[in-house]
């Protein structure tokens, strides 16, 4: 059960009980506080490219830097010395472009070995979700310019499948920044639903 659904359940329970059943103002205040707390913790609902999900309140939605990006977010840095991270949502209809393969190609170890990582698959609200984590040296492949390798970076990725083309979610940044963002990313994955 998500925090949002818990908050809504508590709110509905309180209002359906009616004043005659609620024993004192303390109970009313408690129910209202629990519902407000759960809703506040739930984050910001997003609907982009036919996918609905919730992001933490401190993730700033920014203007996508590419037309293929349906949504883009700035993830707050873990400390002053780190860079911000970013979360991207992409939905591409071309089956010939291997987005996940490009993620793996952008990460490697300092000695040239492939990046270390883990992958899992599960079902969320009727959608098949494949998640992956990569760590190592990040070498961004976007754009015509040479990019400086960034050692000690991490990627959290997800492929969300339903009817039609899949959605791709990718959070990338310094390892400490992505570690800080991981609970929010996991909650985002728990909240994904196909738009109506």
CA dist 34 and 40 (Å) reads: 10
Residues 35 and 53 in one domain: no
Q: Check whether residue 106 and residue 68 sit in a common domain.
A: yes
Rounded to whole angstroms, what are the CA distances from 82 to 24, 52, 109? 50, 30, 20
Clarify whether residues 57 and 149 are in a common domain. yes
How much is the pTM? 0.77
Other Cβ atoms within 10 Å of 110 Cβ, number: 10
> What's the CATH code of the domain at 164?
3.40.1000.10
**Average pLDDT score over the chain:** 82
- Say yes or no: 34 and 60 in one domain: no
pLDDT bracket for residue 117 (50, 70, 90): confident
Residues 110, 30 within the same domain:
no
Higher-confidence residue of 2 and 108: namely: 108
pLDDT of residue 89: 97
- Domain shared by 92 and 21, yes or no: no
Q: How many independent structural domains does the chain possess?
A: 2
> How many Cβ atoms from other residues are within 10 Å of residue 46's Cβ?
18
The reported pLDDT for the residue numbered 43 is 93
Partners of residue 196 on adjacent β-strands: none
For 26, list phi and psi in degrees, rounded to 5: -60, -40
Taking each helix axis as running N to C, give the angle between helix 3-21 and helix 24-42, from 0 to 180 degrees, rounded to the nearest 10.
160
pLDDT at residue 16, rounded to an integer: 53
What is the domain extent for residue 98? Answer: 44-194
pLDDT at 195: 87
Q: Are 24 and 114 in the same domain?
A: no
Q: Are residues 106 and 163 in the same domain?
A: yes
Q: Measure the CA–CA gap between 135 and 99, rounded to whole angstroms.
A: 17
Helix (H) or strand (E) holding 49: none
Same domain, 68 and 161: yes
């Amino acid at each position: 059960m998500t925090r949002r659904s818990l908050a809504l359940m508590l709110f509905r329970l309180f209002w359906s009980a009616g004043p005659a059943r609620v024993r004192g103002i303390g109970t009313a205040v408690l129910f209202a506080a629990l519902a407000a707390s759960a809703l506040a913790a739930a984050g910001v609902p997003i609907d982009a490219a036919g996918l609905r999900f919730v992001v933490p309140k401190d993730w700033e939605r920014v203007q996508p830097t590419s037309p293929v990006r349906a949504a883009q977010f700035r993830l707050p840095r873990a400390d002053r010395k780190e860079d911000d991270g970013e979360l991207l949502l992409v939905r591409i209809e071309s089956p010939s472009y291997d987005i996940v393969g490009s993620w793996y190609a952008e990460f490697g170890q300092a000695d040239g070995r492939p990046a270390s990582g883990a992958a899992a698959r599960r079902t969320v609200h009727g959608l098949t979700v494949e998640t992956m984590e990569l760590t190592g040296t990040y070498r961004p492949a976007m754009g015509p310019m040479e990019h400086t390798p960034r050692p000690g970076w991490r990627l959290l990725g997800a492929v969300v499948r339903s009817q039609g083309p899949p959605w791709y979610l990718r959070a990338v940044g310094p390892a400490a920044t992505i570690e800080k963002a991981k609970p929010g990313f996991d909650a985002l994955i728990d909240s994904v639903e196909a738009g109506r």
